[in-house]
Structure 1
Amino acid sequence: MAGSRSSLRGGLRRGLGRGLTGAALLPAVKLSRQADALAAGGDAAGAEPLYAQALAADPTLAGTHNNHGNALRALGRLEEAATAYRAAVAHGLHEGMAHYNLGSVLRQAERREAAEAAFRQALALRPDHAEAWNNCGNLLRDLGRFGGAAVDYRRALALRPDWADAHDNLSAVLYLLHEQGGEEDAATLARLWRRDHPGNPLARHIGAAIAGEEADTRAPDDYVRQTFDLFAEEFDRKLAELDYRAPALLAGLLSDDAPAADLDVLDAGCGTGLCAAALRPYARRLVGVDLSDGMLERARGRGLYDALHEAELVGFLTGHRQAFDLVMAADVFCYFGSLDEALAAARAALRPGGRLAFTVEELDPADGRPHRVATHGRYAHAEAYVRAALAGAGLVLLRCGHDRLRFESGEPVMGLVVLAERPAA
């Protein structure tokens, strides 16, 4: 989860303070300003000794202590940075930013109780500091105090309603609160989130799922885009930790056919391109499509695609009639509740005899519904519904297997691994 952190540039304060005056003060001030210039350029290693020299000449320069703390933190010298921020406060920099910087470095040093006290002091002095509310929420999340974290994220969002990172943090902590026994509290907070931010895609979709309210028949495009743009940088690593198997399972469906590199192939919802290596041997032309530009940037780096498109999937499929021999969708239809529109569009994009391979999370038949959105925002589908939806779209089911897609919270997530065909005639 993303969170605000004070940077080397952030929170630079003028180095003037009580103490020496006149000619004796000038060397300290000059050194401090030289250090500030280096710090503003990102040179913490060059700035730090100049700050130390300035403070040796005049230890009462409160702003210089704060800036020295920023440089020390950038160099990973966390305990020294905390000492510098405390010195800034002791010498008169009794304002929100100094306490916020102290809280941030204490959290980084995993001194969480002391960090919370510093953040609360920062917020008492500056209650309009959205970043401090967000980082205090991050700290409470670290401590397992999920309800309190959600309250702090909501306060951050009251100040910065369009802050994507804080919405993402609130979404994640409400999920944790719900999954660890706080269903009623999570539902209440989710309803408030939806009420206060009706235009936010995460609030609309995840908020509805956690609150137990009626969700859309598919995840909103802006929710999917925002979620994966935020997730793109760590996507591959996270999925590896979850033992994500959907690309390998789908590749297994193709193993009966010897690769001939003569197919026009679409990797639908391609993400970072995890399916590309398996698809490339079959492809005369390999095309990827995804809503998230952040994901596509990483797919592009694999160098395996002939073309990549940033587009909504159903619209893209509908606009490329009979353009593909194979469409693969690994964990893509889990962002659709009703599959009717997506499957009809996939059939339209396939040539006669073309094949569609996809995975969905499996819904227990005992649930009784055709599909259900879970608190993590993905839909699960009943096998009977998937079979009926394929038939309704004019696709012939060739194979429907049951297998583990990944682990989540230590538990296996079971799915359907499906291969269907557009009839040749």
Structure 2
Amino acid sequence: MAGSRLSLRGGLRGAAVAPAVRLSRQADALASAGDAAGAEPLYARALEADPTLAGTHNNHGNALRALGRLQEAAAAYRAAVAHGLHEGMAHYNLGSVLRQAERHGEADDAFRQSLALRPDHAEAWNNRGNLLRDLGRFGEAATGYRRALTLRPDWADAHDNLGAVLYLLHEQGGVEEAAALARLWRRDHPANPLARHIGAAIAGEEADARAPDDYVRQTFDLFAEEFDRKLAELDYRAPSLLAGLLAEEERRSGLDVLDAGCGTGLCAASLRPYARRLVGVDLSDGMLDRARTRGLYDELQAAELVGFLTERPGVFDLVIAADVFCYFGVLDDAFAAARAALRPGGRLAFTVEELDPADGRPHRVATHGRYAHAEAYVRAAVAGAGLSLRRCDHDRLRYESGEPVMGLVMLAERTPA
């Protein structure tokens, strides 16, 4: 988060006043236009003329931070405080740059001072939560995020941060503490999609039959920019596994193909050789923006999947869904809609995370918010939708917390009438 600019403070003395103020204002204008490199030397010259301008020290710190000169930025923020800018925002800026410089103890002191002076600053509660998360103090971090959300109840980033840190707390053995905090989250924000879905999963409470659309949309809008990189780190294999399945099973070309839940378009390159027309659909505009840059789709639509399929009876020859049905618990509606959208002889290729049969349930939502499914349940749901299962492979989809996530790679067909 960029540091906040402040107005000029401190002594204004003698003949040096006008040049210092003029230089500082010129620098502010450049900084506002995003030109930190141009602003920084002007701030330095202003402070040579009058080193008591506390607001200029703060704004100089912002420019230095934007240029990656973190130690100098910290010194500038300290100078702002020393020259009388004893405000929450100055200490917040200092804490933020110290966290970035991995000077964690000093950063925590600065955030504490910021919040003592301005306890209603949601961003400071959130960023101190980020610092505590960095330090592995997950329960304290969750408390910080909750305070931020008390002040800004609809802040998507803070909800995302709270869900992520409760997951980490749960995975590190704090199961009861994470569950208690998740229940508070759900109580305080009953309409928030992350609180409803992830909160239920971590609290061990009954989840919805599928992940709420708002949860999926919000999650992937926030995740879009780093999606491909993060999945590469997890050795995510669903697109390549489906590509291999199609290479062995699909001999047709010139097809009307739907990439269901297309995300950033990771499946597009493998689908393009089969397609006369390649359509992608996803709930997240952020993901679709990324998919659009690939230049491989004929059409991209932002829509809920079941409704999209239902409204297009008999339109597609091939529907592919890579890690899409892991956001559905009950699969009946999704499979029925896919069958309706397929022409006779059309095929549905998809992956799901595999639930250990010993669990005894047809599906279960995990603390990360995705559903796993028992193979017997998926087979029954395929048949119940009027599809014929042609193939079911077992393979690793990715890693999660260093452990392999096993899945089912399946191909079903709408048999000709």
Q: Does 1:12 align with 2:5?
A: yes
Change (3 A) 1:298 1:213: same
**Are 2:245 and 1:253 equivalent residues in the alignment?**
yes
1:231-250, aligned counterparts within 5 Å? 231-250=223-242
CA-to-partner distance for each residue in 1:61-117, whole Å, 9 max, x for gaps?
Answer: 111111111111111111111111111111110000110010011011010110010
Question: Separation in 2 of the partners of 1:117 and 1:343?
Answer: 54
For the 8 Å contact 2:9–2:85, the answer to whether it is kept is: no
* Aligned residue runs from structure 1 range 13-412, under 5 A: 13-18=6-11, 20-257=12-249, 260-412=252-404
1:367-423 per-position Cα deviation (integer Å, ceiling 9, x unaligned):
000000000000000001011111111111111111000011111000001111111
Structure 1 residue 214, shift from structure 2 partner: 0.5
Cα pair 1:395 1:420 within 8 Å, conserved: yes
- SS of aligned partner of 1:361: strand
Q: How many residues align?
A: 417
Deviations 1:269-300 (A, max 9, x none): 11111111111111111111111111111111
Structure 2-normalised TM-score?
Answer: 0.98
Query: Which of 407, 413, 421 lines up with 2:413 in the alignment?
Result: 421
5+ residue gaps, structure 1, are: none
1:185-216 deviation digits (Å, cap 9, x = unpaired): 00000000001101100000000000000000
Question: What are the superposed Cα offsets for residues 155-200 of structure 1, whole Å, 9 maximum, x if unpaired?
Answer: 0011111110000000100000000000000000000000110110
Contact 2:327 2:371 in 1 (8 A): yes
**Identity score, percent:** 83
Give ranges in structure 2 of 5+ residues lacking alignment. none
Alpha-carbon distance between aligned partners in 2 of 1:417 and 1:28, rounded to the nearest angstrom: 67
Partner SS, residue 320 of structure 2: strand
d(CA) in 2 for partners of 1:319, 1:24: 72
Query: Distance in 1 between the 2:225 and 2:218 partners?
Result: 13
For 2:412, the aligned partner's letter is A
Tell me how far apart the structure 2 counterparts of residues 260 and 218 of structure 1 sit (CA, whole Å). Answer: 33
Offset at 1:353?
1.1
Paired residue type of 2:2: S
The answer to whether the 8 A contact 2:6-2:56 is kept is yes
Secondary structure class of the residue paired with 2:219: helix
* Counterpart Cα distance in 2 of 1:248 and 1:99: 49
**What amino acid sits opposite 1:148 in the alignment?**
E
- Amino acid of the residue matched to residue 195 of structure 2? A
- Find the aligned partners of 1:404 and 1:258 in 2 and give their Cα distance: 22
Alpha-carbon offset, residue 261 of structure 1:
2.9
Are the aligned partners of 2:10 and 2:52 in contact in 1 as well (CA < 8 Å)? yes
Task: Map Cα deviations across residues 287-345 of structure 1 (whole Å, 9 max, x no partner).
Answer: 11111111111111111111111111001111111111111110000000010111111
> Would the aligned equivalents of 1:62 and 1:87 in 2 still touch at CA under 8 Å?
yes
CA contact (8 A) 1:16 1:29 kept: no
Please give the per-residue CA displacement for 1:239-280, whole angstroms capped at 9, x wherever unaligned: 111111111111122123565531111111111111111111
Moved more, 39-48 or 184-193: 39-48
Which residue identity does 2:229 align to in structure 1?
Answer: R
Contact 1:261 1:280 in 2 (8 A): no
CA contact (8 A) 1:259 1:281 kept: no
**Residues 42-64 of structure 1: per-residue CA shift (max 9 Å, x gap):** 22122212211221222111111
Shift of 1:27: 2.0
**Structure 1 pair 384/258, CA: closer, same or farther in 2 (3 Å)?**
closer
1:264 aligns to what SS in structure 2? strand
Paired amino acid for 2:302 = E
Give distance in 2, aligned partners of 1:59 and 1:106.
Answer: 23
CA RMSD of aligned residues (A): 1.1
